[in-house]
Chain A
Amino acid sequence: MPTVEIDPDELRELTGKDDKGNEELKTDLFGLGLEYEGETEAGEFELEFAPDRLDRLSVEGVARSLRYQYGDARGIHVPSTNPADWTIEVGKSVPEDRPYVTGAVVRNVDLDDAALESLIQLQEKLHATMGRKRAKGAIGIHDLTMLKGAPGSEGTPTIRYVGVDPDGDRFVPLDSDRELTPAEVLEDHQTGRTYADLVSGYERYPAIYDDIGLFSFPPVINGRRTEVSTDSRDLFVEMTGTDQWTIDRMLAIVCYALSARGATIEDVTVEYPEETLRRPDFATKTKTVAHDRIETILGIDLAPEDVIDLAERSGLEAAIVDEARTDDVPGSEDAERNVAYEVTIPPYRVDVLHPLDVIDDLGRAYGFNDLEPRYPDVGTIGGRHERSRIENAVRTRLVGLGLQDLLNFHMISEVENFDRMGLAPDDDALGAGEPTTITEPYSEDYTSLRTWVLPSLLMVLENNTHRRYPQDLAEIGFTARVDDTENTGVDERRHVAAVLARHDAAYEDAKARLQAVAASFGATVETPPTAHPSFIDGRTAAVVIDGEAVGVIGEIHPEVLVEHDLEVPVAAFEFDLEALR
């Protein structure tokens, strides 16, 4: 789970709760759904965050949520912005897959070390989450005093977001002291190599220019010239990406965080060839939530004023829109049932898609743990799936015959599944067939799904040679093979498999048990001779149940035994569970 690091002292300062002890803070944070995971060396809390509340990726946002929880803040706060001075002009040369940009000017910031660290963390966490590792949105924060705006169409200072020749202009990127072209950054700079895949397919690379030249190469790296430090007083925040909504919301979250530290936000004009936007976008949105729905989801009765109160304590604002109908008696249940609220959502909330999300907020403000559990008054009839019933019946029989039931992994290596059994995928034998293979296996031990069960049983025997014999084992297990006639392209089947490993195990021991199982299901079993590469010739038979060849039975070939470090003979069988139905 992702974590965010929060300095408890900063939290106390920003919430104005100097008297809160660390333990008390942890309890309050758990109430927000931020679970305490541990502490850094510097004493910062490591908090696990839920990926919905991306406005809580920094101490400022967490403090804001706590203030609502404490009742020190209510309703919605939207920072005021000063009129735009700067313009971002979007050139036609911008890569068409990454055309969007947004920005804001932030003045009078007071960046001490802690505040700068928090800003950097917020930027990283936003990149990792909403920004989808910078693919969807990338943030660049610059020291405004180091920028020289080009005179724009209105005479205002302007920076330009354009596409640039990969081998064109040079700039000095962060953490470097050499001038590099964008293409060289991707090859020679560590951060460049990390993010090279995001842009290397473009003909022209994204770049931002001021009057002096190229100063940012989004989404890869900023230039050193505009690097932010604790001395920076005014900032230029720009974000580029593949989706305007996403970068606008990321910008709102960053602006709210800086504003919480006393900074002033100033609008920026974004000039696309076709339209002009004023950013940051602090517009609120609304959802209409029915009173009745709130009550059914939470399972409690609430008065409308309670709902409005809960909304304000969640940092939302609710207003009654649908008054009771004229024939409703005021204050009656009918009157409440027809009530609905228009709930206003602040611009930093990226998780509210539906009225249900508002109800969740109200429930959290009410305290879900204060709700009394009740068993739903809903009558239904329970029952097992037919497949699990037959599996159980076969398992009971096998256990009664003295076999230890096993439960093995479905993933296996093709070496175990085929090679070590002496089997090839294109053999005409049980277990052969095209395996379902995994694109990026966890390790070479788990590269595909097993096509049969006996390889797993032999591995268990191999890992237990130090344990007592006899080792009579069985598994009713999942197998899979590629099959184009199936909808999913995979034929998934359950096989019944057993091994008898003991100093005197022989074919007839296996056959005795096979007969017993078949007889329990009223099935006739025949065992005509056959050949199978995993078994000894002359001691191998096909398992024919009710006239259909569905498996194999015999004594495992010494080559396979030795391969599995076994020093006892093994008699075995495996067949398709379907045959017993």
Chain B
Amino acid sequence: MQLSQTQVAVLEAASADEARTVDALADATDLPPERVTGAVFALEEAGLVAVEEAVDETVALTEEGRTYAEATLPEVGLYETALEAGADETPAPMGQVIGRSGLEGPQVDIALSNYARKGYGSIDSGELTADPDADPTADGEVGALEALAGDTAADEHPVATLEVDADTLDQLERRGLLERRESTVRTAILTEAGVTELMAGIEAADTVGQVTPELLTSGEWRDADFAAYNVEADAEVVDGGGVHILRQTAERVKDVLVGMGFQEMAGPHADADFWINDCLFMPQDHPARTHWDRFALEHPTHIDELPAALVERVERAHREGVGPDGEGYNSPWDEDFARAIALRGHTTSLSARYLSGHQMGRLEPPQRYFSVEKVYRNDTLDPTHLLEFFQIEGWVMADSLSVRDLMGTFEEFYAQFGIHDIEFKPHYNPYTEPSFELFGTHPTTGELVEIGNSGIFREEMLEPLGVECDVMAWGLALERLLMLMYGFEDIRDIHGTLCDLELLRETEVTY
């Protein structure tokens, strides 16, 4: 029988008496474990070794678990405080005991929910009693934490050697105090046939492991016998680089818009309220401007300079309206307020800058512009809302535009992403009229999802900016589009420093 040199080495290192792990065989043969694994499988196929797989289970404390191992479990802390407060004799007010225990935040709930469960006492109508016979030293979870804390160097403990019962481990895992990990360990042992073959003496085939430059230049390759690989074996995992999924989506949106004839805009993230709101005919006492969802800046506070003539025209539009029977807002208007700097809540500030002629010079119709840029909202952070997210801003300038043109543009845009049947709901925006909210149907859930906001810019916005034709515009949420396309449930896994590398590495690309 002829075997490759690796296989011979592994066969010789294997024993008929005891199963040896791949790692042990690798040490003995001085070969990399991947190659040993390959050889072991080949030998198994040849019937020379028997391979067994075992799952090695280890447990390790989580950060929270370590904290409790160093101090004590919250319910034990509560019990000890309760004893000090004399709650073993007369019930003590719960709030007082908690206060003295030094427990804070979520720990209070943890302590309370485990207190009664573990028989440390009872809680009734806001009063706490302590069972004088309870014994924290007999608490299995306390013992388990101590056993797991051990010395810090070995924080992975094989379950097999751990003297803690399975229920306690389950309980600690449920409480998020420990984590289980599993790994597969393969062992090989010589079969009878293997022993026989070894006794008979095995010659290593003079096979060629690798194609080398020498082999090629010398011509020896003509006589070489190439060792067969186990071509089915798993290869080492290579992650390589990749473009962030949200960026991929943004890029695709940009491609589509460029294809539809749109030019890209850029401009400041921290900008004067003048560009963010006043130019958009948002009254200064509009709730969105005083509301807490705006990120005002503490430093710097005000923009240096605004174009004076534009400021004057914008103020007049706010106060008096535009056109022969236009009306303004019955709201105060103050230039100082307009100069205040905030993180932009929408990228319509860029549209205002471009339309004003202060960014690119005066623009003559027709024009199409877009941006896919960050906006900032001081809203609640949850699975579908971020404090900063990408807005797809776009506008079309032409001599005469109708709401039908607006609807048609959206239908074409979303069709590029496989989203059809866009619905339009008449809506109100201070700076567009008519205005529409856009809804799309979620491809999997069938749910109607709001995907953006749109309309035709009001004359009170355009006239001060010096625009004498129609402009239709929209702001869409990029993350919403991403969630519709990929079916993600928690946007925080993707965008931001809490992102999960595994998710970024493994998410399928779309095209």
**Hey, which chain A residues are within 8 Å of B290, CB to CB?**
132
Please pick, from A368, A375, A383, A406, the residue contacting B408 in the complex, using a CB distance under 8 A.
A375
Contact B402 A299 (CB under 8 A): yes
Do A373 and B408 form a contact, CB below 8 Å, given A360-B434, A492-B268, A492-B270?
Answer: yes
Please report the C-alpha to C-alpha distance between residue A482 and residue B303 in the assembled complex, in whole angstroms.
Answer: 12
* B378 within 8 A of partner (CB): yes
Contact A384 B428 (CB under 8 A): no
> B321 — nearest CB in chain A belongs to which residue?
A353
Q: Which of B81-89, B136-144, B163-171, B251-259 contacts A (4 or more CB under 8 A)?
A: B251-259
Contact A487 B305 (CB under 8 A): yes
Contact A288 B502 (CB under 8 A): no
* A460 within 8 A of partner (CB): yes
The contact string, 1 if C-beta is below 8 Å from chain A, for chain B 257-295, is 111111111101111100000000000010100101001
> A458 — nearest CB in chain B belongs to which residue?
B497
**Hey, which chain A residues are within 8 Å of B403, CB to CB?**
297-299, 363, 368, 371
Min CB distance A50 to B, Å, is 4
Interface SS majority for chain B = mixed
Do A400 and B241 form a contact, CB below 8 Å, given A354-B433, A380-B367, A383-B258?
Answer: yes
**Hey, which chain B residues are within 8 Å of A456, CB to CB?**
497
Do A404 and B504 form a contact, CB below 8 Å, given A354-B321, A378-B366, A399-B243?
Answer: yes
**Hey, which chain B residues are within 8 Å of A356, CB to CB?**
433, 456, 458-459
Contact A409 B387 (CB under 8 A): yes
Contact A354 B428 (CB under 8 A): no
Min CB distance B291 to A, Å, is 11
* B341 within 8 A of partner (CB): yes
**Hey, which chain B residues are within 8 Å of A489, CB to CB?**
270, 300-304, 341
Contact B427 A33 (CB under 8 A): yes
Scoring A388, A402, A468, A488 by chain B CB atoms within 10 A of each residue's CB, the highest score goes to A488
Contact B501 A407 (CB under 8 A): no
Please pick, from A353, A369, A407, the residue contacting B328 in the complex, using a CB distance under 8 A.
A353
Please report the C-alpha to C-alpha distance between residue A27 and residue B258 in the assembled complex, in whole angstroms.
Answer: 38
Contact B374 A410 (CB under 8 A): yes
* A478 within 8 A of partner (CB): yes
Number of chain B residues close to chain A: CB under 8 A:
104
Q: Which of A203-211, A439-447, A570-578 contacts B (4 or more CB under 8 A)?
A: A439-447
Please pick, from A300, A382, A392, A411, the residue contacting B368 in the complex, using a CB distance under 8 A.
A382
Please report the C-alpha to C-alpha distance between residue A372 and residue B304 in the assembled complex, in whole angstroms.
Answer: 47
Contact A246 B330 (CB under 8 A): yes
Please report the C-alpha to C-alpha distance between residue A296 and residue B434 in the assembled complex, in whole angstroms.
Answer: 12
**Hey, which chain B residues are within 8 Å of A33, CB to CB?**
425-428
Contact A436 B407 (CB under 8 A): no
Contact B305 A371 (CB under 8 A): no
Please report the C-alpha to C-alpha distance between residue A283 and residue B186 in the assembled complex, in whole angstroms.
Answer: 90
Please report the C-alpha to C-alpha distance between residue A368 and residue B296 in the assembled complex, in whole angstroms.
Answer: 37
* B324 within 8 A of partner (CB): yes
**Hey, which chain A residues are within 8 Å of B264, CB to CB?**
383-385, 388
Please report the C-alpha to C-alpha distance between residue A350 and residue B271 in the assembled complex, in whole angstroms.
Answer: 31
* B405 within 8 A of partner (CB): yes
Contact B326 A488 (CB under 8 A): no
* B79 within 8 A of partner (CB): no
Min CB distance A193 to B, Å, is 19
Please report the C-alpha to C-alpha distance between residue A375 and residue B259 in the assembled complex, in whole angstroms.
Answer: 14
* B52 within 8 A of partner (CB): no
Please report the C-alpha to C-alpha distance between residue A280 and residue B351 in the assembled complex, in whole angstroms.
Answer: 42
Min CB distance B256 to A, Å, is 10
Min CB distance A360 to B, Å, is 4
Q: Which of B24-32, B187-195, B393-401 contacts A (4 or more CB under 8 A)?
A: B393-401
Please pick, from A135, A368, A382, the residue contacting B261 in the complex, using a CB distance under 8 A.
A382
Do A404 and B297 form a contact, CB below 8 Å, given A299-B403, A381-B263, A478-B374?
Answer: no
A-B contact pairs, 27 of them (CB 8 A): A50-B428, A129-B287, A297-B456, A353-B327, A354-B327, A356-B458, A356-B459, A371-B404, A374-B408, A375-B405, A380-B367, A385-B263, A387-B266, A392-B251, A404-B244, A404-B501, A406-B499, A409-B495, A438-B295, A440-B292, A449-B270, A456-B497, A463-B497, A468-B239, A478-B269, A488-B304, A490-B300
Known pairs A245-B330, A388-B266; list 17 more (Cβ under 8 Å).
A129-B287, A354-B321, A360-B435, A364-B426, A374-B404, A374-B408, A382-B258, A400-B241, A403-B241, A404-B242, A404-B244, A404-B504, A405-B247, A436-B300, A446-B387, A460-B497, A470-B239
For the complex of A and B, the 6 pairs showing the least CB-CB separation, nearest first, are: A299-B402, A489-B300, A373-B407, A299-B404, A399-B241, A382-B258
